[in-house]
Amino acid sequence: MSNNSSLLEAANETDPVIRSGYDLPVYGLDNGQFYVIHIAALCCIAASFCCALTTFVCSFRSHRRPFFLWSQSDRIVVYLAVCDGLFNVSHSLDHLHYVIQRGHVTPPALCAFYGFMLSEFISAQNILVLITAVNACLLVYRHKPIPFGANDWRLLVVIFGTPALFGFVVASLDGFGPTGTFCYFDAVKGSIANILFTTTALGVILVSCAILYVFTWLQIYREARRNEKRLGRSQLSGSVLVTAKTCLLLVAAFFVQWWAMALYGTWQLVEPPPQLLFQFVTTFSNTGGVLNFIVFCIIYRRRKARAETSSKSDSFGTGRSGNSSQDFRL
């Protein structure tokens, strides 16, 4: 996510001994882009945090039942909001530290902590979206979701435990530190971890989500066509189409947030990426809360419309279908 190659070249001209990211210059001070980068990032982070907090509060206010009795999709929206909110808090402190100090974050232990928190919640969100894609695909092909366990313990262990384990390994190798713009994987000592995460892992998740959602959408479309031929415009056909549209919204939000980071990591393997792409990374990667809030609003409106339709059906004596069919309605 940082302009590591350019910083290394600049540092080599003045100091051949580069032991860590602290030996690299702070990116943006030499070309007047320092405040542009950090102020833009802080504005995006502030908007993202407000949206994540709104999503969290509105989710609980829109339900009367206990949290773990909600549908899987509604709980996942809350987990995404939590990841976005905690990511925004730690990352805003990181950027503020750079702006106030006009230099790398000190002491190094604090910078390592910021980097650990950043990798934890970025990874947790990415894994959660991948699990959501797999779950949706299993639903349309196998007609049953992934069992998350009592109180979602399996899901929570995977999405938070796996990144934590990875983070502890990187921390033990002193791999967290300054990138030149903020604290993440150290631009020198954490370069391998940065390649594995920014380029390899994120790229695999993006491609996997795209493939899973395409296959999910195709199966949903085929089932919708079969239902229309047999039953006309049935409720089943309508719910299938709603699921397809929501899948597309989720994958679109995920791609909008992380496309720049994945492209930047790949580009960096060949040559130093351009300044514009770097600005895209610091902007789009910090808008997760906004994007997921938009998806939440659309899901909420659709759920409200379904509830009104169900209420009208009850008035004609059709009865309610219950909540069993909404265990995982995206």
Give the Cα separation of 43 and 197 in Å (integer): 25
pLDDT of residue 153: 94
What gap in Å lies between CA 8 and CA 25, rounded to an integer? 9
Q: Which residue has the higher pLDDT, 299 or 13?
A: 299
User: What's the CATH number of domain 34-308, 3.40.220.10, 1.20.1070.10, 1.10.150.120, 3.30.70.580?
Assistant: 1.20.1070.10
pLDDT exceeds 70 at position 205: yes
Higher pLDDT, 322 or 305: 305
pLDDT value of residue 327: 44
| pTM for this predicted structure | 0.84
Looking at residue 10, its pLDDT comes to 52
Q: CA nearest 77: which of 243, 304, 289?
A: 289
Instruction: Dump pLDDT digits (tens) for 253-272.
Output: 888 999 898 888 888 888 88
How far are the Cα atoms of 70, 115, 216, 327 from residue 139, in angstroms, in the given order? 17, 36, 9, 10
Instruction: Answer yes or no: is pLDDT of 64 > 90.
Output: no
| % of the chain surpassing 70 pLDDT | 82
pLDDT given at position 50: 97
Highest mean pLDDT among 227-236, 284-293, 298-307: 284-293
Position of tokens 């909001």? Answer: 81
Query: What local confidence, expressed as pLDDT, does residue 104 receive?
Result: 94
Domains in the chain: boundaries: 34-308
Residue 321: the pLDDT is 46
**What's the pLDDT tens digit per position in 15-50?**
567 889 999 999 888 888 899 999 999 999 999 999
Whether the predicted pLDDT of 81 surpasses 50: yes
135-153 tens-digit pLDDT: 888 878 877 778 888 899 9
According to DSSP, residue 269 is labeled T
